Amino acid sequence: MSERSERTIQHGIGEKTYDELREIAARYPQPRSGLLPMLHLVQSEEGRLTPEGITACAEVLGLTEAEVSGVATFYTMYKRHPVGDYLVGVCTNTLCAVMGGDAIFERLQEHLGVGNDETTADGKITLEHVECNAACDYAPVVMVNWEFNDFQTPASAVELVDRLRAGEEVSATRGARICSWRQAERVLAGFEDGRVDEGPAAGPASLAGLRVVAAGGLEPASPGGSAGSTTQSGSTSGGGRA
Amino acid sequence: MTGLLPVLTANWGDDRAWTLAAYTARGGYQALDQALAMTPDEVVETVKASGLRGRGGAGFPTGTKWSFIPQDNPNPTYLVVNADESEPGTCKDIPLMMASPHTLVEGVIISSYAIRAHRAFIYVRGEVLHVIRRLQAAVREAYAAGHLGTDIHGSGYDLDVVVHAGAGAYICGEETALLDSLEGRRGQPRLRPPFPAVAGLYASPTVINNAESIATVPSIITNGADWFAGLGTEKSNGVGIFSLSGHVTRPGQYEAPLGITLRELIDLAGGVREGHELKFWTPGGSSTPLFTAEHLDVPLDFESVAAAGSMLGTRALQIFDETVCVVRAVLRWTEFYKHESCGKCTPCREGTYWLAQVLSRLENGQGSEADLDLLLDQCDNILGRAFCALGDGATSPITSSITYFRQEYVDHLTHGGCPFDRAASTLFGGVPA
């Protein structure tokens, strides 16, 4: 923990960060619209939402600190406690829970020796359960720094966190090489990190319907018997769509 | 028999499908040229004539929504894309934006042109890092190629687009809460009227549409309103992405004309998990009342699903087989609504806490059968009395599960707890030994 505290002090809210906060606010017709991405940037710099970061946002937007805090406390992605290098979020909403998310979450708590929303002593992993992350067809899903790790089991999830703790480079099953939580927060603030071309366009479940069609199993729909020609016109002129 | 018809999903398997090069190689951004050759009103009329209805769940006609934008309002007009996909079970917009973000960006440009907006925002939930990367890059590439910015394709039309990441709040999928969030506030819903078309973002005329709705627009421009209107059913036109998850052999995204049935979709997905049978399912996410095997042949269009007592919603088909305890499933959803209630109105803020308490008692085999009537009474005091649809949605799984599975609740009481083996329902523990 002390090592991370030093890093926080090292970074702090410097002039460069103030400039970037102003840059975010300037993207919008009304600067206050930038507040959510600005808070993401603060987390990237500070490892959590610090009072200094709240003050910086308030100064840039001409708001009170209370107004900024009032917004920040509404959203679950903003953290008041230091977050580890890797925020591991196990989906335990109904479908993932049933498919194994509950078992994965229990195993990770045991394995890491932490409870929900707690961080390992080495500061590497913060564990939490998350709500539906829009990847139900890949259940059970474990998010790491908001990258998708699909079709997980308790064993695969343990291996995943062990590799992360060991400092290995780990790629998400449907995404890029997993960066640190702080780096991820910087992308959410609107600053690209050059990893966009990593990972697939789509995972196997996303392509399930396409594969049925490619296998010739089923002809396209033919309402009123006229879809043959319309489908054809779609396939010749549809911009990436037919 | 209704089959599949990939339109939005057609290019997801392409090599580097997310890039401008791949999208353009498929004819991407040609629909934009076609649209720019039309007047904005003609684009609105085309989308109206196509019969496209909102793909975010409510099913409101998209073109009609656009035509509500007043032309005499002195404030600028905005387009806001709702890409805050968070409804449990819903998982279509996220793979769309990961695989083919340019489909959405092209839709944003055409739609903005139609409503005469010069600023558009894509509000995407924050918990999808790689999707956000893909959107950011697509917008950057579109600017560089002259699809965005000033004098787009030499038309004299200007448009700027911002990709905006949220920060974790299901309620921001509610359109007016999203607008408050996009203004840098707590995401709480607004009283309507005034509707966003009159007073939306910054109290200015605003169209807010679901990501899939907007992404559908280029295909309508390319293939024509008649093509789209000729697909699907009489009042539910076109194709939509159906998301199968849970206990099916091949879960995933299946794009088909509206009106396909779950029986057909499950066949395409290789059947229910081997050795098991369908117990209950959601037609459109957890906020839509549960269906059972008796609803397998209900056409999945807005009218038929409503007539059968639920809602088409977002076509989020969560499939649960006989190993799943419905009480456990419903309790978990209820805990979700409790967590995500924004706190603005009393029926939802207090009611979801009460629901979770009573349900939790029942799941543990405590309480009494009278608690079922208490639950229904609580639901009755939330449904139609909450400020927005979140409260209504919270009651759906409870009332529908008591309708279809009342005995299972009672079994928890007689058994002194849950009679189900949780391991049997998991992906890794479900194989018979």
* pLDDT-derived band at B2, boundaries 50, 70, 90: confident
Distance from C-alpha of A178 to C-alpha of A168, rounded to nearest angstrom: 10
Q: How far is CA B389 from each of CA A107, B386, B394, B397, rounded to the nearest angstrom?
A: 36, 7, 9, 14
Q: How far is CA B407 from each of CA B165, B267, B311, B404, B417, rounded to the nearest angstrom?
A: 44, 30, 24, 8, 14
**pLDDT tens digits for range B305-326:** 999 999 999 999 999 999 999 9
Distance from C-alpha of B389 to C-alpha of B56, rounded to nearest angstrom: 13
Q: Which of A38, A63, A91, A206 to mutate to test the interface with B (most CBs of B within 10 A)?
A: A206
Positions of CATH 1.20.1440.230 in chain B: 326-423
**pLDDT tens digits for range B311-366:** 999 999 999 999 999 999 999 999 999 999 999 999 999 999 999 999 999 999 99
Q: Which of B187, B116, B199 is nearest to B157 (CA)?
A: B116
pLDDT at A232 over 50: no
Q: Output the pLDDT for position A18.
A: 97
**pLDDT tens digits for range B201-231:** 999 999 999 999 999 999 999 999 999 999 9
Q: How far is CA B153 from each of CA A78, A241, B147, rounded to the nearest angstrom?
A: 41, 21, 7
**pLDDT tens digits for range A72-97:** 999 999 999 999 999 999 999 999 99
The burial class, CB within 10 Å (0-12 / 13-18 / 19+), for A225 is exposed
Q: Does domain B20-229 have CATH number 1.10.3720.10?
A: no
Residue B119 CB-half CA count within 13 A: 16
| Amino acid at the residue A145 | N
3-state SS of chain A: helix, strand, coil percent to 5?
50, 10, 40
Q: With beta carbons under 8 A apart, name residues in chain A contacting B177.
A: none
Cβ contact, residue pair B328, A98, below 8 Å: yes
* pLDDT-derived band at A226, boundaries 50, 70, 90: very low
Instruction: Please tell me if residue B203 touches chain A, with a CB cutoff of 8 Å.
Output: no
Nearest chain A residue to B184 by CA distance is: A33
Cβ contact, residue pair A240, B23, below 8 Å: yes
pLDDT at A191 over 80: yes
Task: Give the one of A89, A131, A140 whose C-beta lies nearest to B170's C-beta.
Answer: A131
Instruction: Please tell me if residue B425 touches chain A, with a CB cutoff of 8 Å.
Output: yes
* pLDDT-derived band at A216, boundaries 50, 70, 90: confident
pLDDT at B433 over 60: no
**pLDDT tens digits for range A122-169:** 999 999 999 999 999 999 999 999 999 999 999 999 999 999 999 999
Q: Output the pLDDT for position A234.
A: 33
* pLDDT-derived band at B246, boundaries 50, 70, 90: very high
pTM to 2 decimal places: 0.94
Cβ contact, residue pair A227, B231, below 8 Å: yes
Cβ contact, residue pair A207, B429, below 8 Å: no
pLDDT at A238 over 80: no
Nearest chain B residue to A171 by CA distance is: B130
Task: Give the one of A99, A130, A224 whose C-beta lies nearest to B426's C-beta.
Answer: A99
Cβ contact, residue pair A71, B186, below 8 Å: yes
Positions of CATH 3.40.50.11540 in chain B: 20-229
* pLDDT-derived band at B430, boundaries 50, 70, 90: low
Instruction: Please tell me if residue B85 touches chain A, with a CB cutoff of 8 Å.
Output: yes
Name the DSSP letter for residue B195.
P
Backbone phi, psi, residue B405, to 5°: -135, 40
Domains of chain A: 2-72 (1.10.10), 86-179 (3.40.30.10)
What is the arithmetic mean of pLDDT over A54-69?
A: 98
Topology (CATH level 3) of domain B326-423: de novo design (two linked rop proteins) (1.20.1440)
Cβ contact, residue pair B340, A217, below 8 Å: no
Q: Output the pLDDT for position A218.
A: 56
**pLDDT tens digits for range B180-204:** 999 999 999 999 999 999 999 999 9
Distance from C-alpha of B326 to C-alpha of B324, rounded to nearest angstrom: 6
* pLDDT-derived band at A6, boundaries 50, 70, 90: very low
Positions of CATH 3.10.20.600 in chain B: 239-321
* pLDDT-derived band at A217, boundaries 50, 70, 90: low
Distance from C-alpha of A31 to C-alpha of B332, rounded to nearest angstrom: 38
Instruction: Please tell me if residue A53 touches chain B, with a CB cutoff of 8 Å.
Output: no
**pLDDT tens digits for range B61-89:** 999 999 999 989 999 999 999 999 999 99
Q: Does domain B239-321 have CATH number 3.10.20.600?
A: yes
Kindly give, in sequence order, each residue whose CB lies less than 8 Å from that of residue A131, ignoring residues fewer than 6 positions away: A91, A93, B86, B88, B170, B336, B339, B340
Between positions 130 and 149 of B, the ones with CB within 8 A of A are 130, 132-134, 136-137, 140
pLDDT at A2 over 80: no
What is the arithmetic mean of pLDDT over B11-28?
A: 98
List residues bridging with B366 in a β-sheet.
none
Task: Give the one of B12, B183, B329 whose C-beta lies nearest to A30's C-beta.
Answer: B183
* pLDDT-derived band at B130, boundaries 50, 70, 90: very high
Between positions 21 and 80 of B, the ones with CB within 8 A of A are 22-23, 26-31, 76
pLDDT at A233 over 50: no
Kindly give, in sequence order, each residue whose CB lies less than 8 Å from that of residue A45, ignoring residues fewer than 6 positions away: A11, A12, A13, A17, A53, A182
Q: With beta carbons under 8 A apart, name residues in chain B contacting A133.
A: 127-128
**B215 CA to centre of own chain:** 13
Q: What is the average pLDDT score of chain B?
A: 97
Backbone phi, psi, residue A24, to 5°: -65, -50
- Cβ(A71)–Cβ(A58) under 8 Å? no
Beta-strand pair A86-91/A142-144: antiparallel
Kindly give, in sequence order, each residue whose CB lies less than 8 Å from that of residue A200, ignoring residues fewer than 6 positions away: A174
Cis preceding-peptide flag for A154 (omega within 30 of 0): no
Q: How far A23 CA lies from chain B's nearest CA (Å)?
A: 13
Nearest chain A residue to B161 by CA distance is: A27
Cis preceding-peptide flag for B194 (omega within 30 of 0): yes
Cβ contact, residue pair A134, B91, below 8 Å: yes
Lowest mean pLDDT among A226-240, B28-42, B145-159, B266-280: A226-240
- CB pairs A-B closer than 8 Å: 346
Instruction: Please tell me if residue B432 touches chain A, with a CB cutoff of 8 Å.
Output: no
Q: Output the pLDDT for position B429.
A: 82
Distance from C-alpha of B218 to C-alpha of A115, rounded to nearest angstrom: 47
* pLDDT-derived band at A241, boundaries 50, 70, 90: very low
pLDDT at B432 over 50: no
